[in-house]
């Protein structure tokens, strides 16, 4: 069964009972509403304007995909695949192409990929998650939301404030720690690596399950930030071998192509293992999920679909495609 048929069944079989799975589908549905309304309505108009496949149709579709922030390289690859499939399957009707568009966008994201969208938890001892990203993307809020999620799963969580020089950063993280019943370690205007060291020492003494470490987001001087992150990574690995278990880059989805530039820049200075896309519900260009994976080959691990603590969701490509194309199914 192709993804299109599978998602169609999801829509038709959606029960009124509020199971956990259906709640998540609803989150993707409402969180991607802006993108869907913009993208799918234009796709429908395109299908009515061009009833048969033509070069003009391809050009309009290409522009539409680029406008959704799917990314020029991703769109070029997708269009090549689409043209090839249309030719091989002798497709002439644009109405039938919706199904193929959905399947091919899914295939491009997955791409026989070994990349996992799951968090790499430590087999024993604390799991260390290091968070990077420029200021203002929602890094501290993401840490707070994840702490809330882990706490509900019965985990003992600690936050470490590694962004020691930005005014209010330590205090802001402390507020989230209090709100989510997490332990906290921070010291303003101190060396970030030494704060991380002391925090990890306390985390081990307290038998913490998960450590969430905030860092500075000063991308303007890449060399300084790279040195700082290198030092923090060395301290973490010395204290807990094989840590950090994840280095998560937080990106604001509403910044579009600028977010992709940030991903490229941070990939150059440290080992990013996953992306957290915040404010996906606040943009009509939710195609950035596909562009980021294609441009930097790093999986999206979490997406922000609202302002509530519970609105940070583990990324699921099928639910994402469902949220994007539900109105076509």
How many C-alpha atoms does 143 have within 13 Å on its Cβ side? 36
Residue 312 gets which letter from DSSP? E
Q: Which residues face 155 on adjacent strands?
A: none
Please give the pLDDT value at position 48. 87
Percentage of residues in the chain having pLDDT higher than 90: 55
Q: What is the pLDDT of residues 104-162, one digit of tens each?
A: 888 888 875 655 678 999 988 899 999 999 988 999 999 999 999 999 999 999 999 99
pLDDT at 274: 95
Domain boundaries, the chain: 18-110, 127-316
Q: Give the pLDDT score at 112.
A: 59
- The residues, any chain, with a CB within 8 Å of residue 248's CB and separated by 6 or more, are 129, 130, 131, 132, 142, 272, 273, 274, 275, 276, 301, 302
The answer for residues whose C-beta is within 8 angstroms of residue 326's C-beta and 6 or more apart is 7, 11, 29, 36
Q: Tell me the pLDDT tens digit for each residue of 198-246.
A: 999 999 999 999 999 999 988 878 889 999 999 999 999 998 999 999 9
Class of domain 127-316 as given by CATH: alpha beta
pLDDT in tens, 277-289: 999 999 988 888 8
Q: Does domain 18-110 have CATH number 1.20.1050.10?
A: no
Per the CB < 8 A criterion, the answer to whether 253 and 69 are in contact is no
Query: Do the beta carbons of residue 169 and residue 184 sit within 8 Å?
Result: no
pLDDT of residue 95: 82
Domains 18-110 and 127-316 share a fold: no
> How much is the pLDDT for 103?
87
What pLDDT, in 10s, does the model give residues 63-82? 999 888 888 888 999 999 99
* Mean pLDDT (whole number) for 175-203: 96
Grade residue 51 by pLDDT with cuts at 50, 70 and 90: confident
CA distances from residue 298 to 23, 38, 70, 260, 271 in whole angstroms, order as listed: 27, 26, 15, 11, 10
- Chain-centroid distance of CA 84 in Å reads 30
């Amino acid at each position: 069964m192709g993804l299109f048929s599978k998602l169609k069944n999801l829509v038709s079989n959606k029960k009124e009972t509020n199971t956990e799975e259906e709640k998540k589908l609803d989150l993707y549905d409402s969180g991607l509403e802006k993108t869907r309304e913009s993208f799918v309505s234009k796709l429908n108009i395109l299908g009515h304007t061009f009833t048969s496949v033509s070069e003009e149709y391809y050009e309009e579709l290409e522009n539409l995909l680029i406008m959704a922030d799917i990314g020029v390289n991703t769109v070029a690859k997708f269009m090549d695949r689409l043209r090839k499939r249309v030719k091989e399957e002798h497709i002439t009707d644009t109405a039938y192409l919706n199904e193929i568009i959905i399947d091919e966008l899914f295939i491009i994201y997955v791409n026989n990929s070994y990349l996992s969208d799951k968090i790499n938890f430590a087999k024993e001892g604390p799991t260390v998650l290091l968070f990077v990203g420029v200021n203002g993307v929602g890094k501290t809020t993401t840490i707070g939301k994840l702490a809330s999620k882990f706490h509900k799963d019965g985990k003992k969580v600690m936050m470490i404030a590694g962004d020691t020089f930005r005014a209010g950063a330590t205090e802001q993280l402390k507020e989230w720690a209090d709100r989510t019943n997490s332990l906290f370690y921070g010291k303003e205007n101190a060396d970030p690596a030494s704060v991380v060291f002391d925090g990890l020492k306390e985390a081990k003494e307290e038998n913490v399950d998960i450590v969430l470490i905030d860092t500075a987001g000063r991308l303007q001087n890449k060399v300084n930030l790279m040195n700082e992150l290198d030092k923090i990574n060395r301290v973490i690995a010395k204290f807990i071998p094989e840590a950090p278990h994840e280095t998560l880059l937080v990106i604001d989805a509403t910044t579009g192509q600028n977010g992709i530039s940030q991903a490229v820049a941070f990939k150059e200075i440290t080992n990013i293992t996953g992306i957290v896309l915040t404010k996906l519900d606040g943009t009509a260009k939710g195609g950035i999920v596909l562009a980021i994976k294609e441009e930097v080959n790093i999986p999206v691990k979490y997406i922000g679909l609202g302002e509530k603590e519970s609105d940070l969701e583990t990324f699921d490509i099928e639910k994402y495609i469902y949220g994007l194309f539900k109105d076509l199914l």
